[in-house]
Amino acid sequence: MVRLRVVLALVVLCGATVSCAGSNEPASDAHKLNFVFVVVDDLDLTSTPYWDAMPKTKALIADRGSTFRNMFATDPVCCPARATLLTGMYPHNTEVFNSQGGLEKFRTGKSKSSIGVRLRKAGYTTAFMGKYLNGYELDPSYVPPGWDEWFGLAGKKFLSGYDYDANHNGRMEHFGDRSRDYQTDVLRQRATEFVDEQADSDKPFLLTLFPTAPHSPIEPARRHRDNKFADDPIPDRKNFNEDLSDKPLWLRGIYSGPLTAKEKAASLKRYRNGLGALMAVDDMVASIASRLEADDALDNTVFIFTSDNGYSFGSHQWRGKLAPYDETTRVPLAIAGPGVREQNQDHLVAQIDLAPTLYDLAGLPDQPDVDGVSLAPLLRGEKDVRWRPSILIEYKATPAFPFHTLADVQRTVFRGGSGGGVVPDYRSVRTPKWQYIEWYAGDQHEYELYDMTKDPFQLTNLRANLATAAEHADVAAELQDRLEDLAACSGADCR
């Protein structure tokens, strides 16, 4: 059981024994903040009651720190989201837009600009444990730069939680189907060992943990099989199996039709297994905090909890991720540690912001190639912080499924084909009030516009009706201009 003083130790105000971002005096290595950065897989903010499955993590981070209710993935699928989380750069700057070939692009490009590389250069001991970019699991001999400790999950079955391989500092290890081989528990063991190894070091550390839970087909750990979520229904949303008459052709023409009984059953299994699998993540976070306390390092450590992308359980008749709707793009974010105010935050934040936040809290100078903004002023609860008006969400279809233009979509629809879970190219601008989506590459587009304050379930596309399109023409024009700027931005121009 995590003791109350463990929870309370997470909140240490600026001016105590550690330096906070923005201090006039640079901190020595011995007093620089440690970071525990936890990124789960396919966890949405909108429908899954994830804190119910992770009460210890909630108490340690969400209840004692800052929770962000408007946190967005900039490309809602695993590979590009992870590239962005590791660099603070939009997909058009990492050049990783989808899960096909993304690893190789990242390996030969922005992997040298990752949080591991930069924090290690700044004197941190760095560790990566878990799921790296898609494709690594099939060719895991590579150890990316920047990591003193590397434990990259691999093997065709690693998403199931058992019977997988891992590259441990260049040496392959196999894990079978014993209870102790459960992937999240192995990560917990490796993480606590790493924390113990840092106890006598004067160097700060970055512990980056990317478990695959709750990504399907992972199941709960065996000790959690009989859990309270095993009979839960998926929470109802107003846009479940929505009428698609005002949606773009790719969605209404290829995927239209309510979820079948078989699809509903598959979604329900995924939902229940995912919640059960998060219980082991909860144990992992609590174990790390307990070990940090034992090593007298807890009150000098910042915890970050988030997800790579969300997931749609039938909202808009959509069966997955990739699409730019709220179910797939809005993800959890909670941060706790020294100088972090206990609060709920409604500022518009995105995955591009986490790397610059780490750099700021670590005392690094501004990184000019990073697209995001440090969250440090928001974490401290500063008033009247000047903040960005919008963020970009972008995606490009994979080379294997060249679903890029309106003509590509029309050919599929008119032939009676199925997109097979494929989403065409899009660019989208999100503001606190609006979401604007431009579909397809090339010269022919379809558009969606939603007033998120009046229509949070994105039921009424204001560009699909002549009257509402005319009424909101000025708004659409302004958002199109923002879209053009953001889609070509880099560094400070994105902020």
**Chain CA centroid to CA 357, Å:** 15
In angstroms, the CA 489 to CA 90 distance is: 9
Please give the sequence-ordered ranges of beta strands (E in DSSP) within 192-320, or none if there are none.
205-210, 301-307, 312-313, 319-320
Q: Is the Cα torsion angle 21, 27, 31, 34 positive or negative in sign?
A: positive
Give 295: exposed, middle or buried? Use CB within 10 Å, 0-12, 13-18, 19+.
middle
CB distance 354 to 88 below 8 Å: yes
Give 266: exposed, middle or buried? Use CB within 10 Å, 0-12, 13-18, 19+.
middle
In angstroms, the CA 302 to CA 311 distance is: 27
Given strand 426-430, what is the order of strands in its sheet? 391-395, 426-430, 434-439, 446-451
- Tell which residue, 227, 137, 223, 230, has the closest CA to residue 188: 223
CB distance 129 to 144 below 8 Å: no
Angle in degrees, 0-180, between the axes of helices 183-197 and 261-294, rounded to the nearest 10? 20
Question: What is the radius of gyration, based on Cα positions, of the chain?
Answer: 22
Q: Is the Cα torsion angle 276, 279, 280, 281 positive or negative in sign?
A: positive
**Chain CA centroid to CA 84, Å:** 9
Give the number of C-alpha atoms closer than 13 A to the C-alpha of residue 187, restricted to the C-beta side: 33
**Chain CA centroid to CA 325, Å:** 15
Marked catalytic residue, from 20, 78, 79, 494: 78
Q: Is 489 among the catalytic positions?
A: no
| 192: its two tokens | 């606590």
- Which residue numbers are catalytic? 78
